[in-house]
Amino acid sequence: MSGLLITGGAGFIGGNFVRHWLREHPRDHVVVLDALTYAGNLESLDDVRDHAGFRFVHADICDRETVARVFEEEGIDRVTHFAAESHVDRSILGPAEFVRTNIEGTFTLLDVARQAWDGDRNCRFLHVSTDEVYGSLTADEPAFTETHPYRPNSPYSASKASSDHLVRAWFETYDMPVLTTNCSNNYGPFQFPEKLIPLVILNALEGKPLPVYGDGSNVRDWLHVEDHCRGIAAVLERGTPGEVYNIGGDNERSNIEIVQLLCDHLDRLRPAEQSYRELIRFVTDRPGHDFRYAIDSGKIQRELGWRPEIGFDEGLASTIDWYLDHLDWCERIRSGEYRRYYERQYADRVDKSTG
């Protein structure tokens, strides 16, 4: 028996990966294991739940017994590990859950896989990580390569960096067939609306302020989630165990540019009395806010033939269309927990806009 375990498959990237994988490998046996935290939503998997080879397990990755049982019962020989606490602002408000899920959870998965696989080098454990582990770049430093030193600055990135180190150690010490991907900021359908792009779209439609941290000059590299999923699939299928692959969009944008672009799209699609740009507010900066991320994805391009295929204009337009068509999904997932988080995160941020 052979099975692919997808942890965090009810979240944004994991869910998109489940759909991508089953489209490309309709006969595969796919097991999603997810704790369904505020960020996980089974509704996001509605279109694949009836698939013959699909199974969902509601469990925490720190629950060793259940994870071990899933490995055994489902014949797990491959893992794509997405499950994580993923939002920087939440990690600042409450870091404990990040240490638990991202570090202890990754440890649990690695250790269960090591025992279940018992030295079988045909298995694959792909750990999905982030460019944020490398820290912050100045405006003109070269982009992150896979050998860039680790300098995480937030509780989120520090917990992801720790998990990357565990994965590396399981290769060096136990010869586990692991692979790590470090990717830049994703955007696309099903992203939880606490992250910049969906938050701005939904706030604009509701006539709420569009909070831009600091002066909006921080730079992120943006990649469409579907391109990221193709990259992960390429690494899972053809990557070399023990190796790290950076995945990025070669698409650096300042935050204010992103917010203005979103406003301009919405001005065309859903014109209001005044431009949505009037809602932009520069607010208190995020503590430890990394200035710039940029990814050098030369290695995965050269070795695995991957490259981003979705242009930013096209990807952003289709993402906005998706949110406009799924306002009911957004409404349902913004639970009481989300509203409490939103209050805590934004209530005290001082509006520093002039004029």
Helix, strand or coil, per DSSP, at residue 301: helix
> Is 131 part of the annotated catalytic residue set?
yes
Residue 161 binds ligand TYD, judged by CB under 6 A:
no
Residue 39 binds ligand NAD, judged by CB under 6 A:
yes
Helix, strand or coil, per DSSP, at residue 180: strand
Residue 195 binds ligand TYD, judged by CB under 6 A:
yes
Judged by CB under 6 A, the residue of 3, 4, 5, 8 near ligand NAD is: 8
Q: Which stretch binds ligand NAD (CB under 6 A): 3-11, 134-142, 261-269, 277-285?
A: 3-11
Binding mask 63-92 for ligand NAD (x = CB under 6 A): -------------------xxxxx------
Q: Which stretch binds ligand TYD (CB under 6 A): 72-80, 206-214, 299-307, 329-337?
A: 206-214
> Are 291 and 218 contacting, i.e. CB atoms less than 8 angstroms apart?
yes
Residue 101 binds ligand NAD, judged by CB under 6 A:
yes
Of the candidates 74, 85, 132, 227, the residue annotated as catalytic is 132
Answer with the entry of ligand NAD, ligand TYD, none that 10 interacts with (C-beta below 5 to 8 A by kind): ligand NAD
> Is 156 part of the annotated catalytic residue set?
yes
Q: Residue 228: phi, psi to the nearest 5?
A: -60, -45
Residue 246 binds ligand NAD, judged by CB under 6 A:
no
Within 220-259, which residues bind ligand TYD (CB under 6 A)?
220, 255
Of the candidates 38, 134, 156, 341, the residue annotated as catalytic is 156
Residue 31 binds ligand TYD, judged by CB under 6 A:
no
Per residue, the 3-state secondary structure of 315-326, as one string, reads: HHHHHHHHHHHC
Q: What angle do CA 48, 184, 98 make, to 5 degrees?
A: 75
The CA distances from residue 58 to 7, 89, 300, in Å, are 10, 26, 33
Report the C-alpha gap between 266 and 71 in whole angstroms.
46
Judged by CB under 6 A, the residue of 12, 107, 134, 213 near ligand NAD is: 12
Buried-exposed string 301-331: b where 16+ CB fall within 10 A, e elsewhere: beebebebebebeebbeebbebbeeeeebbe
Buried-exposed string 58-72: b where 16+ CB fall within 10 A, e elsewhere: ebbbbeeebbbebbe
Residue 188 binds ligand TYD, judged by CB under 6 A:
no
The CA distances from residue 245 to 97, 146, 181, in Å, are 27, 7, 5
Q: Which residues does 258 contact at the CB level (< 8 Å), separation at least 6?
A: 196, 197, 200, 220, 222
Residue 136 binds ligand TYD, judged by CB under 6 A:
no
The residues of the shown chain that bind ligand NAD, judged by CB under 6 A, are 7-8, 10-14, 34-37, 39-40, 60-62, 82-86, 101, 105, 128, 130, 160, 183, 185-186, 192
Catalytic residues: 131-132, 156
